[in-house]
Chains A and B, each alone.
Chain A
Amino acid sequence: KQEVTQIPAALSVPEGENLVLNCSFTDSAIYNLQWFRQDPGKGLTSLLLIQSSQREQTSGRLNASLDKSSGRSTLYIAASQPGDSATYLCAVTNLSTDKLIFGTGTRLQVFP
Chain B
Amino acid sequence: ETGVTQTPRHLVMGMTNKKSLKCEQHLGHNAMYWYKQSAKKPLELMFVYSLEERVENNSVPSRFSPECPNSSHLFLHLHTLQPEDSALYLCASSQDRTQQPQHFGDGTRLSIL
Contact = CB atoms under 8 A, between A and B. Distances in A.
Interface of A: 4, 31-32, 34, 36, 41-46, 49, 89, 91, 93, 98-104
Nearest to B104: A43
B43 A42 contact: no
B42 A43 contact: no
A93 B2 contact: no
A103 B42 contact: yes
A74 B58 CA distance: 29
25 contacts: A4-B42, A34-B100, A42-B106, A42-B107, A43-B2, A43-B6, A43-B90, A43-B92, A43-B105, A43-B107, A44-B90, A44-B92, A44-B104, A45-B2, A46-B100, A46-B101, A49-B100, A91-B43, A100-B45, A100-B100, A100-B102, A101-B42, A102-B43, A103-B42, A104-B41
Interface residues of B, number: 22
A31 B102 CA distance: 14
B73 interface: no
A76 B90 CA distance: 27
Top-9 shortest CB links A-B: A46-B101, A43-B104, A44-B104, A102-B43, A102-B42, A43-B106, A42-B106, A43-B105, A104-B42
Contact of B43 (A41, A46, A89, A93): A89
Given A34-B101, A41-B106, A99-B56, 17 more contacts: A32-B100, A34-B100, A41-B107, A41-B109, A43-B2, A43-B4, A43-B6, A43-B92, A43-B106, A43-B107, A44-B90, A44-B102, A45-B104, A46-B102, A91-B43, A100-B102, A104-B42
